[in-house]
Chain A
Amino acid sequence: MDALSNLMMGFGEILTPFNIAIIFAAGLIGTVVGALPGLGPSAGIALMLPLTFGMPEASGLCLLTGVYMGTMYGGRITSILINAPGDAPAIITALEGYPMMQQGRGAMALGISAFSSFIGGLFGLLVLIFAAPIIASYAIYLGPPEYFLLMATGLGTVMLLAGDQIAKAFLVTCLGVLVSTFGSDYVSGQIRFAFVPELIEGIDFVAIIIGLYGLGEVFYNLEKRVKLNLGKPGFRMKEFIPGKAELSEAAAPTLRGSLLGTLIGIVPGAGATVATFLDYALEKRLSKKPETFGTGNIAGLAGPEATNNAAVPGSLIPLITLGIPGSGGTAIMLGALIMFGMRPGPLLMTTSGDIVWAMIAGLVLANVFLLASNVLLIPVFVNLLRAVQGNLANVVIALCVVGAFSLAYSPFNIWIMLIFGVVGYLFKKNDYPTGPFILAVVLAPLAENYFRQSIMLGQGSAGIFLDRPISLTILIVMALIVVLSVVSQIRKSRKMRLAAAEGE
């Protein structure tokens, strides 16, 4: 077992008091950064970067990967507690976690998501340790046509997020696509709808998320005078450590989420956000009670939460084996590797293998620390929320404003957030789903660009989608899913007609 002995060597490197302290601190910092709306993995890693100068390489990299992993744990906290996702991969967590919070099961939602985060991270790490080079060498064969189909599948899940309001979902999806077209288009370099220079960059979707969910919720609650059901103050373990019933409900979704997150995390250019949406759609499809999704379903919470944590080690795979970053966070990691004087590329494992293995060992340790600290801190978070409940609206607004400002250190995004706060309020008041909207904002530009690149690669012919084996397979699977769901719909309606006929 070559990988195991390398990993042991890595552990030998990092099991010093200094490195253990660094990894522990990194996890905590990451959790806090991830929990703040607006600050996600990219921001967290970028903030820590200057601190790593002058550290030994292995310690510095452990700090960065620890923060990266920590933000994925942290993102779920504000999603669940105040419905303000800390970053894009945590949007889905809010869809199921916040309803649980409203029902007084917030601590349990935090507990379940902490465990599924841990399993997701662990699964991704195992793949990273044992299969990184093999998997990476295949992952590069996915190109623009496959990415496009992946994004199209993601957009297709709109209908699953829609529930029974297909027309409304379709309308907000179109609105989301429209919002996503603002700014410069990199395929042609043309600028669209840039009424003010700031819009040349397009609208930062994190500002939209903060406004839509965080601020929109505050406006709505102010009008309805909603009071969160926080239960009695308590620090009892059984409130937040999932019991047998919860665990058995969460186990299968967690494993599926881990697998999906790792796979999609590896593909450069896809990322954790798409993975969480796909996983949520998958869980809803497999669920026996799909109607409970959106009202605090444990499978819908555990699966995507495992997914976004599994995507972290997943996205490290192309980075350390090929020097290709698969996400915003790993993109900054790439810069860090360069700054440490290492050359990310196919030779990295040969030239700097010891440091890379130390980093991987550090991640394993960070994941364990993060589970422990996140579970133990749940009572702190919940009781903190209880303490500020009287002024919760003010606290949330402050967090949202600071978060929006910190995106580009400019007040422009505060305006964007305010606008989408009002939009979010109107959506909620008139019962329009927000999920399809944000999904379109995030995925539509990616789908557009990959589609155009595909057509260009095909030299003007759409046949490229059929010529490539992987893309053809995805197309066939998509077609099968459509056919099967149509057939099952027809069967269902026939059964209902029969039942109605018998009733007469």
Chain B
Amino acid sequence: MTFLSKAAGIAAVSLALVGAPALAEGFPDRPMEFVAGYGPGGGHDTMLRTMARLMEQENIVDVPINVVNKEGGSSAVAMGYLNARKESPYYLMSITSSHIATPLTSNIGLNYADFTPIARIGIDPELLVVNTAKGYESLADLKAEGRMLNVGGTATGSIEHIVTMQLAEKTGMELNFIPFQGDGEVVTALLSNQIDFAITNPGPVSDYLSSDKFKALAISTEERIDSLPDVPTFSEQGADIKISLFRGLTAAPGISDEERDALIAMVTKLFETEAWQKEYIEPNAVVPLVVTGQEFTDYLAETEAVYRETLGDLGMLGN
């Protein structure tokens, strides 16, 4: 028995050693799945589908890539889905701040450290967007309404929710946050004036901004950004809010270091292409600050600390 299991162990180790260099070359050797924790048409979905298309187009992978939407539970559903695929390197999940916030606000028994962080793609600012028909021009106009305003965003405990609560705290406005399932629903609600304003990333509303159906009144970056030069920051308008969403990728729990490195190599190759800059980074107003592997894990740990404090202040920490 002992001999056999030892032999098996040695065989496994040598297989792993032999397999290692080949891995990066031949990886992925079977179809991959990209997992989006939010509904189609939203930030996660658009990003993963663009990634899948460009990876094919730029010959970075030669296997089919399927994008699946596992929406719900402020990304808890997708985390559960990926967690069920332990040790399989063929899954990449897009993550944003909810990947950190949801485990803090709800007791889901999983957190970022259970997975295998791969890379941060960049930073995605939050916009305060109103329907142009309402005629609001600035934060002051919203405050002048003098009633409780309905705010749309995705998911409880999301960064949109935190921005909303900070805005209420810093300006004294009465705000009522309503979680919608996916950016598509938020856009619909704003289009039909069911909410007074939305907190959202630029991606899902860019077409509406350029056709003047929506107007962005504030952005959550430190300074104005090049792609939206006319949108003032929150700080300019006296509300000191500087939280942006990070966009990143994580893989299933328990994959080997070789597999992790192969995934990092795969996505890094994509991020260096011109097509990626042109077709994802620019249209979505993402600030491309890439970090990978351990560095990304450290970043997630820091982010978690910040969230723990903010959510604690807002009385939103779960047990």
Contacts and interface: CB of A to CB of B under 8 A. Distances in A.
A449 B155 CA distance: 12
Interface stretch (A160-168, A193-201, A233-241, A417-425): A193-201
B67 A335 contact: yes
Contacts of B21: none
A191 interface: yes
B211 A201 contact: no
B208 A189 contact: no
Given A53-B57, A323-B207, A191 B191 contact: no
B207 A343 contact: yes
Contact of A186 (B73, B189, B213): B73
Given A46-B68, A331-B41, A339 B106 contact: no
B89 to A, nearest CB: 15
Contacts of A325: 39-41, 184
A29 to B, nearest CB: 16
B79 interface: yes
Contacts, number: 156
A368 interface: no
- The range of chain A's interface size is 35 or more
A453 interface: yes
A335 B73 contact: no
Interface stretch (A77-85, A115-123, A344-352): A344-352
B184 A268 contact: yes
B27 interface: no
B109 interface: yes
B81 A140 contact: no
A13 interface: no
Given A50-B64, A198-B80, A322 B188 contact: yes
Q: In which size bucket is the chain B interface?
A: 35 or more
A341 B45 CA distance: 14
Contacts of A392: none
A323 B41 contact: yes
B268 interface: no
B219 interface: no
Contact of B71 (A144, A186, A343, A408): A186
B176 interface: yes
Interface string B127-154: 0000000000000000000001010000
B207 A190 contact: no
A190 B73 CA distance: 7
Name the residue in B41, B178, B210, B211 with the highest tally of chain A Cβ atoms < 10 Å from its Cβ.
Answer: B41
A163 B277 CA distance: 60
Interface string B175-190: 0101111001101110
B66 A49 contact: yes
Contacts of B110: 197
A332 interface: yes
A186 B41 contact: no
B217 to A, nearest CB: 20
A189 B155 contact: yes
B52 A459 contact: no
Nearest to B181: A186
Given A184-B73, A201-B77, A453-B178, A143 B108 contact: no
B169 to A, nearest CB: 19
Contacts of B195: 457
Contacts of B206: 343
Contact of B46 (A184, A338, A341): A338
A186 B184 contact: no
B111 interface: no
A408 B81 contact: yes
A406 to B, nearest CB: 12
Interface string A419-439: 000000000000000000000
Contacts of B185: 268-269
Given A50-B65, A268-B184, A339 B52 contact: yes
Contacts of B66: 46, 49-50
A198 B41 CA distance: 25
Nearest to B78: A201
A414 interface: no
Contact of A345 (B69, B79, B83, B207): B207
B250 interface: no
Contacts of A197: 80, 83-84, 109-110
Given A343-B207, A449-B181, 12 more contacts: A50-B65, A184-B73, A185-B73, A197-B110, A268-B185, A322-B188, A335-B40, A338-B49, A346-B208, A347-B210, A453-B178, A456-B178
21 contacts: A49-B66, A53-B53, A143-B188, A185-B72, A185-B73, A186-B71, A186-B72, A186-B179, A187-B156, A194-B80, A198-B80, A199-B80, A200-B80, A268-B188, A322-B191, A324-B187, A338-B46, A346-B213, A449-B181, A453-B179, A457-B150
Which 8 A-B residue pairings sit nearest by Cβ, starting from the closest? A184-B73, A200-B80, A345-B207, A331-B40, A50-B64, A189-B74, A339-B53, A186-B72
